[in-house]
Amino acid sequence: MKKIGIMTTGGDCSGLNTAIQRIIRGATLRKWAVYGILDGTDGLCTTPPAAIKLNDLMLPIENARLAGSFLHNGHANALNFETAIERGKTTAFNRKLHKSLTELKLDALILIGGNGSISLAWKNREIYRDLQLICIPKTIDMDIPLTDKTIGFDTAVQQLTSYCDQLMLTARSHHRWFVVQAMGRDCGNLALNAGVAIGASAILIPEIKFDVNALVEHIKKQQTDYGIIIASEGISLRGHSGKPADMISRKLTAAGIVNRTAFPEHTQRAGDTTAADRILATRFADCALQAIENNETNVMTVLTDNEAHTVSLSEFVNAGKIVHDPKIPDLMTSNAYVNPDDPLLEVAHDMGIYIGELK
C-alpha cells in the first residue's frame, strides 16, 4: 500500500481544499494512505513532523468549496526557505526537511504551490530525492508557464469582478471614478480578465506600457462621468512612488477628474471556489495520482489544449522568464506573463478600453 503526503505552500487561494479533498478521495479508492503536512514546510520543521492521517470524513465534500487551505500554508515568522536564508540556516533547514520526510516514510508527496514554491522544489530537489514529487500549480496570478490555467485564478477573477460590480453602482450614484488596485504581482492576467468582465474604462497592466496623460484624456472623453479603472499592483509610474492606484488617482485628481481608490486586497484570494476551479482542481488531483501510479517524479500537472498532463520541473523552469525572487535573494523563479498576442488585449481595445500603448 502506497503512503502519500499532501502539502500546500505559498499564498492561499480558492480551490486548495477542492484539490485536497479530491486527492484524498482518489487515493482512498486506490487503498493508499494519505497524510497531510500541516503549515507547509513549517510542519516539517517540528519534531515529530506535523502530519495527520487524512480520510473522507476530515474534509467533507461540502467544505471542499471553501477558500483557504484545510492544511494551512505556514506561519509568518516560522523557519522556511525565506527565513532560513535570512538567518543563515539554509543547510540545516534543508537537512531537517529531508529528515522529516524520511521519518514520515512517504512514497510520494503532492506539493500544491505557486511558481515560487515550485521553483524552490526544483532548486532543492535533493530534499525530495527519496520519494516521488508531484507538483500542482495554484495561484491567482496565473503566472506559471506551460499551463493554460492555475487553481484559484478563475475564482479570483470572479471575486474581483463582483467587487467592481458593486463599486460601479456607487460610482454612478456619486458621478465619480474608482481606481481599483488588483493583485497579480508582476503579471496582469487577473486585472486584464476582470477588467474585460466588468467593462472597465481602462486596464493598466505591467506588460503593456501606458501614458498617464493619454489615460487622462481617455477618461475625459468618456460619455459617462463614472466608471472603473483597474490598475495591476505591478505597474509603475516614472517619477512617482506609492501604491499604483494612489499614483493614478493623484494624476486624475490633478486633471479635475473626481475619483476614489479601492483596494480589494485579500478578498481576491477568498470566496467560494467557482465551478471552473473545482473542475480544474479535480483534474489536477486525478492527474497527480496517475503520475504517482506511473512512477513519475519531479513533475508538475498542467492543462494545455484542455488536456491535463504532466511536464518535468526542469521543463517548467526553462520555459518561463527567469527572474530573481523578491523575498528569497538566491532564488530564481520561472514566470509567465500576459502574452502580447493575448486575444483579450485586442478585445479590450476594440471595446474602447484604454489598455495602454499597444503596438
- Residue 78 is predicted with a pLDDT of 78
The total number of structural domains in the chain stands at 2
Per-residue pLDDT, 84: 84
74: left (phi over 0), alpha (psi -120 to 50) or beta: left
Does 207 score more than 80 pLDDT?
yes
pLDDT digits (tens, 9 = 90+) for 62-103: 999 999 999 998 887 777 888 888 888 889 999 999 999 999
Burial class of residue 104 in the structure, from the number of CB atoms within 10 Å of its CB (0-12 exposed, 13-18 middle, 19+ buried): middle
Contacts of 178 (CB under 8 A, 6+ apart): 164, 167, 168, 171, 227, 228, 229, 259, 260, 261, 262
Do 121 and 313 contact (CB within 8 A), yes or no?
yes
Alpha-carbon span 213 to 250, nearest angstrom? 12
Mean pLDDT of 217-230: 97
225 inside domain = yes
- Same domain for 148 and 174? no
Please check whether residue 82 is in contact with residue 9, taking contact to mean a CB–CB distance below 8 angstroms. no
- For residues 7 and 123, state if they share a domain: yes
| CATH number, domain with residue 192 | 3.40.50.460
Residues 47, 96 contacting (CB under 8 angstroms): no
The residue annotated as part of the active site, out of 141, 143, 186, 277, is: 141
Residues 36 and 53 in one domain: yes
Considering the domain boundaries, does residue 327 fall inside one? no
pLDDT tens, residue by residue, 6-63: 999 999 999 999 999 999 999 999 999 999 999 999 999 999 999 999 999 999 999 9
The pLDDT of 215-239, averaged and rounded, is 96
More confident residue, 325 or 156: 156
89 and 201 in a single domain? The answer is no
Question: Are 250 and 147 found together in one domain?
Answer: no
Q: Is the pLDDT of residue 354 over 90?
A: yes
In a domain, 303, yes or no: yes
Q: 202 and 260 share a domain?
A: yes
Residues of the chain with pLDDT > 90: what percent? 90
Claim to verify: residue 15 and residue 134 sit in the same structural domain = yes
109, 170: one domain: no
Specify the 3-state DSSP secondary structure of 101. Answer: helix
Q: Are residues 281 and 146 in the same domain?
A: yes
Neighbours of 132 (CB within 10 A): 21
Which residue, 119, 97, 72, is CA-closest to 298? Answer: 119
Report the half-sphere exposure of 173 (CA within 13 A, side-chain side): 5
CATH (domain of 89)? 3.40.50.450
Q: Is 121 found in the same domain as 65?
A: yes
189-200 pLDDT per residue, tens: 999 999 999 999
141 assigned to active site = yes
121-168 pLDDT, tens digit each: 999 999 999 999 999 999 999 999 999 999 999 999 999 999 999 999
Helix axis angle, 244-254 to 212-220, nearest 10° = 60
pLDDT at 331: 84
Question: Do 90 and 225 share a domain, yes or no?
Answer: no
Residue 44 C-alpha cell reads as: 516539517
Mean pLDDT for the chain overall: 96
- Cis bond upstream, residue 206 (ω within 30): no
pLDDT at 214 (0 to 100) = 97
Kindly give, in sequence order, each residue whose CB lies less than 8 Å from that of residue 139, ignoring residues fewer than 6 positions away.
10, 11, 13, 114, 115, 150, 151, 152, 153
pLDDT band at residue 345 using 50, 70 and 90 as cut-offs? very high
The confidence band for 219, taking pLDDT boundaries of 50, 70 and 90, is very high
Residue 359 has pLDDT above 70, yes or no: no
Rg (CA), the chain: 22
The residue segments making up the domain with residue 106 are 3-152+273-319
- For residues 132 and 10, state if they share a domain: yes
Report the pLDDT averaged over residues 203-208: 98
Give yes or no for residue 256 having a pLDDT over 70: yes
Q: Which residues of 164-191 are buried (b: 16+ CB within 10 A; e: fewer)?
A: beebbeebeeeebbbbbbbbbbbbbbbb
